[in-house]
A and B are shown apart, each in its own frame.
Chain A
Amino acid sequence: MSFLTSLFTADGFLGPFLRIASYVVLAPLVGGLLAGLDRKVTAWMQGRVGPPIIQPFYDVRKLLQKENIAVNRFQNFFVFLFLLFMVFTGSIFFLGAGFLVVVFSFTLACLFFVFGGFSVRSPYGHIGAERELIQMMAYDPMIILVAVGFYLAAGSFETRSIYQAGQNGILIAYLPGILAGYLYILTIKFRKSPFDLSMSHHAHQEIVKGLSTEFSGKALAAIEVAHWYENVLLLGIIYLFFSFHPLIGVAAALGAYFLEVFIDNSYARFKWGLTLQSTWIFTLMAGVSNLVILHYLLTRR
């Protein structure tokens, strides 16, 4: 319990380097287990037994043994940068440093993945990369609104201060709309139906595998591990909203994750136009209106 608390507070018993090290080591473990639970729960929802919970680790271990096939020398380098910047982003976040830096380096990491998709000559890779750009266009406004909302509620862009504000219950009281909008775009970020346009885990065609079509072996393993880091970071943001009690925070983060699994299994894939429209409309409805009302209330006070 105090371990979770100390992840964010400046005066916790974990020093900054130890805090980064714990993220680098623990995040893939947690992310991999969550991915395994995801597959198990999905299997139960479909009336089957499903793979073991540690199946994602088996998959990555196998991918590391596969032959390296790259069509050019930049392809795997971009994936490495994607992984590196995702770890960097998560480290900054769990260090309690600036939330804006988290947002920007997060976008940078995702851009490197898009570059990887464009660096190959496969048309499937290109379509996947274009769809990923559309998805980024869809979710990025909401991520920025999350940062703005945190600033309005906590009076600072420092993740540490935002955490302090969360401990007083201010975040969830002031920003319910922001949380709802964030949950909406979380479906895109977790690559779940109906928004898994660019790269799906349930692919049976190359076009559905999209971005990752041309990646194999170690590069594919790196993509998967980067995705685990990403998921833990995104769930960490959910935890911020509920950080007044560690148990409630963890329960909320897990609840959000399994809500996405539920949505994944109950929706068919959307077209890109509907994805973009619905996301922006919901961002306006939930996120912007929340900020407008909050601004009005705060200036009246």
Chain B
Amino acid sequence: MSIMKKSPWIVHYNASSCNGCDLELVATLTPMYDPERFGVINMGNPKHADLLLVTGSVNARNASVLEALFDQMPSPKAVVAIGICATSGCVFAEAYNVLGGVDKVLPVDVYVPGCAARPEAILDGILRALDVLERKRLELKRPPGPAAGEGKGTGIL
């Protein structure tokens, strides 16, 4: 069963992108590439989303926003870093206020390189993240091992 693969809903966050990757992401959502073929919908709401797409490097000011967005998304969820800035921080990595790529803050599942990332590459990144989503769903379904079941019997109260 590929339950998660059939309808990936995305939410996009611009960490500190130059808008190059943002425009390419918007281009990906146009009828030209038509990601809704794969069930992809841009939700704009983290509580409805399965995939968090981040463009731009992470800096000291937006790291907490990014974490808050990720925390609001219900599991299973995955993160896609779009563009070389989101992947590694690129030329901005050494700047005093820049932490680096998205993986300094969140567990990134798919890296899409490029400056700016091409729409084809972004779409490919989204579709590769689907396998991650499906794997995470199965991991959540799996009965907890001895380590996870340790708190059993204590109740929630």
Contact = CB atoms under 8 A, between A and B. Distances in A.
A111 B98 CA distance: 48
B25 to A, nearest CB: 12
Given A59-B7, A59-B39, A204-B42, A215 B47 contact: yes
B103 interface: no
A212 B45 CA distance: 10
Given A203-B44, A217-B74, A62 B34 contact: no
A50 interface: yes
Contacts of A67: 74-76, 140
Interface stretch (A16-24, A40-48, A88-96, A179-187): A40-48
**Which of the listed residues B36, B72, B75 has the most CB atoms from chain A within 10 Å of its own CB?**
B36
A205 interface: yes
Is the contact region of chain B dominated by helix, strand, or loop, or is it mixed? loop
A66 interface: yes
Given A48-B36, A209-B44, A65 B3 contact: yes
A58 B7 contact: yes
A271 interface: no
Contact of B76 (A66, A203, A209): A66
B75 A213 contact: no
B37 interface: yes
Contacts of B74: 66-69, 216-217
B6 A62 contact: yes
A202 B66 CA distance: 24
Contact of A58 (B6, B31, B37, B43): B6
Interface string B111-136: 00000000000000000000000000
Contact of B36 (A51, A68, A205, A217): A51
B39 A51 contact: yes
A196 interface: no
A43 B34 contact: yes
Interface residues of B, number: 23
B79 to A, nearest CB: 16
A219 to B, nearest CB: 10
A65 B36 contact: no
Contact of A69 (B37, B45, B47, B140): B47
A208 B43 CA distance: 10
A220 to B, nearest CB: 7
A38 interface: no
Contact of A48 (B31, B42, B43): B31
A259 interface: no
A55 interface: yes
Contacts of A66: 50, 74-76
Contacts of B104: none
Given A65-B137, A67-B75, A203-B43, A55 B3 contact: no
B34 A61 contact: no
**Which of the listed residues A58, A66, A212, A215 has the most CB atoms from chain B within 10 Å of its own CB?**
A66
B111 to A, nearest CB: 24
A206 to B, nearest CB: 5
Contact of A214 (B6, B31, B44, B47): B47
A209 B48 contact: yes
A217 B38 CA distance: 20
A208 B137 CA distance: 29
B138 to A, nearest CB: 10
A74 to B, nearest CB: 17
B58 interface: no
20 contacts: A48-B34, A49-B37, A51-B39, A58-B6, A59-B39, A61-B3, A61-B6, A62-B4, A62-B50, A65-B3, A66-B50, A66-B74, A67-B74, A68-B74, A69-B72, A204-B43, A205-B45, A209-B44, A212-B48, A216-B47
Interface of B: 3-4, 6-7, 31, 34, 36-39, 42-45, 47-48, 50, 72, 74-76, 137, 140
Given A66-B50, A69-B74, 10 more contacts: A49-B34, A49-B37, A58-B7, A59-B39, A62-B50, A65-B3, A67-B75, A204-B44, A213-B47, A216-B47
